[in-house]
Amino acid sequence: MCLNFSIIMNCMKILLISSLTIFLFSCSKNEPLSMRWDLTGCFNPWDSYFSLDTFSTEAYNAGIFDYLYEEGIDVNFISSEFDSTKVELCYACHCKTGTVITVNIPIKDKRKLKNLVPNNQFNLSFY
């Protein structure tokens, strides 16, 4: 009777250890993560990187994509949407326009993306 209980306990231990191992290694640094940026008048990290001859959203997003690529960040996709609750009615560079840029990246690049924006008095950052 004790022999069977011992075998069962050993099997349970092996099962538990292998389950934990699989769980821990299944988390991948390439899993996608969406980060957001509230577009400002002229305090965006990529503003000095490129200039546009058009006001299309696609061209702007392509410019952001190129900037992030040059900074060593792998980008899955970039999108933008307008959120009227984010609009700040002022003309200063740090004022939010209401456009929210969503950048989808591998989770391994989260720190690189956040480091593109130094600490600033306007509390602007990727979130």
pLDDT-based confidence at residue 114 (cuts at 50, 70, 90):
very high
Distance CA 39, CA 105 (A): 18
Asked whether the predicted pLDDT for residue 76 surpasses 90, the reply is yes
Domain CATH for 44: 3.30.70
Q: Which domain holds residue 95?
A: 30-115
pLDDT-based confidence at residue 106 (cuts at 50, 70, 90):
very high
pLDDT-based confidence at residue 27 (cuts at 50, 70, 90):
low
14 inside domain: no
- Give the C-alpha distances (Å, rounded to integers) separating 91 from 20, 87, 96: 54, 11, 9
**Closest CA relative to residue 116, chosen from 53, 84, 71:** 71
* Structure confidence at residue 55 (pLDDT): 76
Q: What is the model's pTM?
A: 0.72
Average pLDDT rounded to a whole number, residues 89-110: 94
**How many domains does the chain divide into?**
1
In the chain, where does DSSP find H-type helix? 2-26, 57-70, 110-115
